[in-house]
Amino acid sequence: MGYEIDNDCVGCPQGCVHCGRDVDRKIYFCDECGTTIDYGEDLYIYEGKELCWECYKSKFNEKLCDDCDDSTCSECNRESDYLYEVEHNLWVCEDCLKEMAERVEIE
């Protein structure tokens, strides 16, 4: 799991004034690109790695839908500008891809 322990203590010269900054917290990051995950964002599991959304999306074939292509999601039947191939010839929109993704339980 990609995380490190951090706190915001500045080491007050007069000694600790108990401002609340000296609290250890876990900072999570993407196993592939190293991007720090902000509070409220998710990490997604792909082949044993915990990835940010952009790295997770990059693992799937993506097609830009124009006037010549079928631009309908196989799951929700809505039109989309981009579709992602999750199985052979099963193309889904970004919203459905996110719904299908396995999320990491962040403490």
> pLDDT tens digits for 9-51?
888 888 888 888 888 877 888 999 988 887 778 899 999 999 9
Q: Residue 67 — very low, low, confident or very high, per pLDDT cuts 50/70/90?
A: low
pTM of the prediction? 0.75
pLDDT of residue 64: 87
Please give the sequence-ordered ranges of beta strands (E in DSSP) within 2-89, or none if there are none. 3-6, 25-28, 44-46, 49-51, 61-64, 82-87
Task: Please report the pLDDT score of residue 54 as a whole number.
Answer: 95
Residue 56 per-residue DSSP state: H
Collapsing DSSP to helix, strand or coil, 30 comes out as: coil
Asked whether the beta carbons of 32 and 51 are under 8 A apart, the reply is yes
Query: What's the confidence (pLDDT) of residue 8?
Result: 80
Question: What's the burial of 42, exposed, middle or buried (CB within 10 Å: 0-12/13-18/19+)?
Answer: middle
More confident residue, 65 or 57: 57
Beta bridge partner(s), residue 6? 25
Q: Name the strand (E) or helix (H) holding 90.
A: strand 90-92
Task: With CA atoms as reference, report the closest residue to 45 among 60, 28, 63, 30.
Answer: 30
Domain borders along the chain are 1-58, 60-101
- Give whichever of 32-36, 55-59, 89-93 has the largest mean pLDDT: 55-59
